[in-house]
A and B are shown apart, each in its own frame.
Chain A
Amino acid sequence: MVDKVSFSSVVVEGDKFTLEGFRGGGDDVVNEALILREQDRLLPIANIGRLMKRILPPNAKISKEAKETMQECVSEFISFVTGEASEKCQREKRKTVNGDDICLALSSLGFDDFVEPLMRYLARYRETESERSGGQNKSDSP
Chain B
Amino acid sequence: MRQAGTYSGMLAVMSGKNVPHSLPLARIKKIMKKSGNDVKMISGEAPIVFSKACELFIEELTRRSWMMTLKGKRRTLHKDDVASAIAATDIFDFLVNLIDDNGREVEGGFGRRGEPTS
> Separation in Å of the A41 CB from the closest CB of chain B?
6
> Separation in Å of the B26 CB from the closest CB of chain A?
10
Question: Once the chains bind, are A125 and B45 in contact (CB under 8 Å)?
Answer: yes
Query: B95-112: which residues lie under 8 A (CB-CB) from chain A?
Result: 95, 98, 108-112
CB within 8 Å of A: which residues of B?
10-11, 14-16, 22-24, 27-28, 30-32, 34-46, 48-50, 52-59, 61-63, 65-66, 69, 75-79, 81-83, 86, 90-91, 94-95, 98, 108-113, 115
Pick the contact of B77 from A43, A66, A106 — CB < 8 Å?
A: A66
Expressed in whole angstroms, the Cα–Cα distance for A56 and B75 within the complex equals 10
Complex interface: chain A residues within 8 A of B113 (CB) = 14, 38, 68
Complex interface: chain B residues within 8 A of A34 (CB) = none
Pick the contact of A79 from B31, B65, B110 — CB < 8 Å?
A: B31
A7 interface contact, C-beta 8 A: no
Question: Once the chains bind, are A87 and B62 in contact (CB under 8 Å)?
Answer: no
The total of Cβ contacts below 8 Å across the A-B interface reads 212
Question: Once the chains bind, are B52 and A97 in contact (CB under 8 Å)?
Answer: no
Question: Once the chains bind, are B42 and A141 in contact (CB under 8 Å)?
Answer: yes
Question: Once the chains bind, are B43 and A96 in contact (CB under 8 Å)?
Answer: yes
Complex interface: chain A residues within 8 A of B90 (CB) = 110
Question: Once the chains bind, are A99 and B46 in contact (CB under 8 Å)?
Answer: yes
Interface centre among A60, A83, A102 (most CB of B within 10 A): A102
Expressed in whole angstroms, the Cα–Cα distance for A7 and B44 within the complex equals 40
